[in-house]
Amino acid sequence: MAEGLGALLDPAAIRLAETAADREAAIRRCGEVLVSVGAVQPAYVDAMLEREKSVSTYVGEGVAIPHGTLAGKETVLRDALAVLRFPAGVDWGGDRPVRVCVAIAARGDGHVEVLGELAQILLDPDRAAALRAATDQDTVYDLLTPIEETA
């Protein structure tokens, strides 16, 4: 389970000091980062916006998980994640502003397990708070690749 999230996260796809005027701008930034690390074609960004119009990807704990529609899968080059932190927050229409976007590019259904892992991390209020407050890449990496209990 430990390899899941970390293996999909290119260090270049961790951006911790982003700003966005609104939800659409934030999603565009997420898409641009996925494009910049070679995970998706530019058309995937439109699929992400389409998905968000259909249903909010806000999951709670100040975290949203933007990703494309099924139709957008053809523009995914490889499974990948991007983590974008918006310290000033972005209004997502949820119970609180979004401070972290975990953007997802996925061809098959492997990302369901990835999302499961992410959700388990966010269900721990301490780790969710740490993710919202992370200011360096190593912290994000460590949070998303929990060390297996050896006991």
Partner 1 sequence: MPSRTVTVGSRTGLHARPAALFVAAAGSAPLPVKINVAGRKPVPANSMLSVLSLGAKCGTEVTITAEGDGADVVLDDLAALLARDLDAEEGGSDG
Residues taking part in catalysis: 67
Smallest separation (angstroms) from partner 1 to the CB of 14: 21
| Between 54 and 150, CB nearer to partner 1 | 54
Residue in the block written with tokens 């006991």: 151
- How many other CB atoms sit within 10 Å of the CB of residue 65? 21
CB-CB contact of 78 with 38 (8 Å): yes
| Between 39 and 57, CB nearer to partner 1 | 57
Smallest separation (angstroms) from partner 1 to the CB of 17: 25
Stretch that binds partner 1, among 19-27, 30-38, 67-75, 80-88 (CB under 8 A): 67-75
Q: How far apart are the C-alpha atoms of 139 and 67, rounded to whole Å?
A: 23
How many residues belong to the site for partner 1 (CB under 8 A)?
A: 27
- Which is nearest to 23 in space by CA: 43, 53, 47? 53
Residues in the chain: 151
Q: How far apart are the C-alpha atoms of 2 and 10, rounded to whole Å?
A: 15
Residue ranges in 81-140 that form contacts with partner 1 under rule CB under 8 A: 109, 111-113, 115-120, 122-123
Q: Where along the sequence are the contacts to partner 1 (CB under 8 A)?
A: 50-51, 54-61, 65, 67, 69-71, 109, 111-113, 115-120, 122-123
